[in-house]
Amino acid sequence: MRLQRITICSIFILIMSFCAVTGTATSAVATEPPEKLISIDPGNAPPDLVMVISAIVLEMRGQAQPKGKWPEIVFTGGITKGLLEPQFRYAGFRLLQTMVDEYLPPEMNNGVTKLKGHLHFFDAAKRRTLVSLEIKYEFVSDKIIIKKAEIRPLFPLRPELKLFIVPAERVTKNDFDIFSNNALTMGFLLNNCVSAGKPDEIPKGIRDYYVFACYLDRLSPDDQTELRLGRISNGLQGEKLAFRASDGIAQTGHNLLHFDHSGWRVDIARCRISLTGEKLYLKAIFQPGTKQNKEIKLGEPYLAGVFPTRLARQVPDPLVKKTQLALIRAGYDPGPADGFMGNKTHQAIDQFQRDSKQKAAAEPTRDQIKMVQAALVEKGYKPGTPDGIMGGKTRRAIMQYQHDNAMPADGKISASLLKKLTASKPQRTSTVQHAKKGKSQVVQQGESRTLTVSAPSPKQQRLKTMITSKMWPNEVAIP
Amino acid sequence: MFSSLCKYRYVIPTLTIFLFCGCAGLEGQIQKFKQKMDQLGQITLPDPIAVSLDTMPKDAAQVTTAIHDKIVRISQGTSKHVRFGKAIDAGSFLIDKELTFSGAELYHYKTNINNPSDKTIAGKIDFEGPLGRRTSALHVSRFSSTNNEIVITEARVEPLYSTNPEPMLFIVPTSSLPNNASLYPDSYTDLLTFVSEKAVTPSSRVNMIEENAEYTIFVFLLDRISPSAALQVKVSTQETGIYGYKQTTRYLNFNGWQVGILSGLFSLSDRGQTEPLYVKAVFVPGKEVGKLRPPRLIGRYMIHNIDPTQMRYTISSSN
**Residue B313: closest CA among A358, A340, A303, A196:** A340
Is B197 an interface residue toward A (CB < 8 Å)? yes
- Per-residue HEC secondary structure of B257-290 comes to EEEEEEEEEECCCCCCCCCCEEEEEEEECCHHHC
> Beta-carbon neighbour count of residue A280 at 10 Å?
25
pLDDT tens-digit series, residues B55-75: 888 889 889 988 888 888 775
Instruction: Find the range with the poorest average confidence among A325-329, A356-360, B42-46.
Output: A356-360
Q: According to the model, what pLDDT value does residue B39 have?
A: 56
Of A10-19, A283-292, B1-10, B258-267, give the range with the top mean pLDDT. Answer: B258-267
Q: pLDDT band at residue A446, thresholds of 50, 70 and 90? A: very low
Q: According to the model, what pLDDT value does residue B229 have?
A: 93
* Conformational region of residue B94, where left means phi above 0, alpha means psi within -120 to 50, and beta covers everything else: beta
Q: Are B142 and B155 in contact (CB under 8 A)?
A: yes
**Contact A246/B209, CB-based, under 8 Å?**
yes
Instruction: Find the range with the poorest average confidence among A287-301, B168-182, B227-241.
Output: A287-301
| Distance separating alpha carbons of residues B87 and A21, to the nearest angstrom | 107
Is A367 an interface residue toward B (CB < 8 Å)? no
Mean pLDDT of A472-476: 84
pLDDT tens-digit series, residues A208-260: 888 999 999 988 888 888 888 888 888 888 888 876 544 444 333 344 677 88
**Contact A453/B102, CB-based, under 8 Å?**
yes
Mean pLDDT of A59-73: 77
Whether residue A57 has pLDDT greater than 60: yes
What value does the mean pLDDT of chain B take? Answer: 77
Residues 205-264 of A with CB under 8 A from B: 205-208, 229-231, 237-239, 244, 246-248
Paired with A281 in beta bridges are A230, A308
pTM, entire model:
0.45
**Contact A470/B297, CB-based, under 8 Å?**
no
In chain A, the percentage of residues whose pLDDT exceeds 90 is: 3
Is B318 an interface residue toward A (CB < 8 Å)? no
**Contact A474/B167, CB-based, under 8 Å?**
yes
Residue of B nearest to A320 (CA): B308
Is A471 an interface residue toward B (CB < 8 Å)? yes
**Contact B309/A272, CB-based, under 8 Å?**
no
Among B102, B309, B312, the residue with its CB nearest the CB of A229 is: B312
What values do phi and psi take at B32, rounded to 5?
-65, -35
Dump the DSSP string for A133-191. Answer: EEEEEEEETTEEEEEEEEEEEE-BSS--EEEEEEEGGG--GGGGGGGGSHHHHHHHHHH
What value does the mean pLDDT of chain A take? Answer: 74
Sheet of B100-111, strand order? B82-84, B150-160, B134-145, B118-128, B100-111
- A190, burial (CB in 10 Å: exposed 0-12, middle 13-18, buried 19+): exposed
**Contact A473/B272, CB-based, under 8 Å?**
no
Q: pLDDT band at residue B305, thresholds of 50, 70 and 90? A: low
Q: A198 to chain B, minimum CA–CA distance in Å?
A: 23
Q: A172 to chain B, minimum CA–CA distance in Å?
A: 11
Q: pLDDT band at residue A42, thresholds of 50, 70 and 90? A: low
Mean pLDDT of A285-308: 75
The residue among A270, A327, A434, A467 with the most chain B CBs within 10 A of its CB, best to mutate, is A467
Cα A204 to its chain centre, rounded Å, is: 25
| Distance separating alpha carbons of residues A473 and A220, to the nearest angstrom | 50
Mean pLDDT of A67-77: 76
Whether residue A294 has pLDDT greater than 80: no
Q: According to the model, what pLDDT value does residue B99 have?
A: 87
| Distance separating alpha carbons of residues A297 and A317, to the nearest angstrom | 46
**Contact B104/A472, CB-based, under 8 Å?**
no
User: How large is the greatest C-alpha to C-alpha distance in chain B, in angstroms?
Assistant: 85
How many beta-carbon pairs under 8 angstroms link A with B?
Answer: 179
Paired with B127 in beta bridges are B101, B135
Q: According to the model, what pLDDT value does residue A438 have?
A: 36
Q: According to the model, what pLDDT value does residue B271 have?
A: 64
Q: According to the model, what pLDDT value does residue B91 have?
A: 57
Q: According to the model, what pLDDT value does residue A451 have?
A: 78
**Contact B55/A326, CB-based, under 8 Å?**
no
pLDDT tens-digit series, residues B198-218: 998 887 765 665 567 888 999
A257 CB contacts (<8 Å, ≥6 apart)? A243, A249, A267, A268, A269
Instruction: Find the range with the poorest average confidence among A437-446, B35-44, B139-148.
Output: A437-446
Mean pLDDT of B137-156: 86
Among A207, A447, A471, the residue with its CB nearest the CB of B168 is: A471
| Distance separating alpha carbons of residues B318 and B271, to the nearest angstrom | 23
Residue of B nearest to A433 (CA): B54
| Distance separating alpha carbons of residues B260 and B198, to the nearest angstrom | 16
Q: Are B204 and A472 in contact (CB under 8 A)?
A: no
**Contact A442/B62, CB-based, under 8 Å?**
yes
Mean pLDDT of A350-357: 77
**Residue B65: closest CA among B93, B101, B99, B91:** B101
Instruction: Find the range with the poorest average confidence among A163-172, A179-188, A379-388, B141-150.
Output: A379-388
Q: Which chain B residues touch A309 with a CB distance below 8 Å?
A: none
Q: According to the model, what pLDDT value does residue A256 have?
A: 62
Q: According to the model, what pLDDT value does residue A291 have?
A: 60
Buried/exposed code over B191-215 (b: 16+ C-beta within 10 A; e: otherwise): bbbbbbebbbebeebeebbbeeeeb
Mean pLDDT of B100-109: 88
Among A231, A237, A437, the residue with its CB nearest the CB of B52 is: A437
Q: pLDDT band at residue A407, thresholds of 50, 70 and 90? A: confident
Of A170-179, A371-380, B35-44, B101-110, give the range with the top mean pLDDT. Answer: B101-110
In chain A, the percentage of residues whose pLDDT exceeds 70 is: 77
Is A7 an interface residue toward B (CB < 8 Å)? no
Is A29 an interface residue toward B (CB < 8 Å)? no
- B39, burial (CB in 10 Å: exposed 0-12, middle 13-18, buried 19+): middle
**Contact B192/A467, CB-based, under 8 Å?**
yes
Paired with A442 in beta bridges are A451
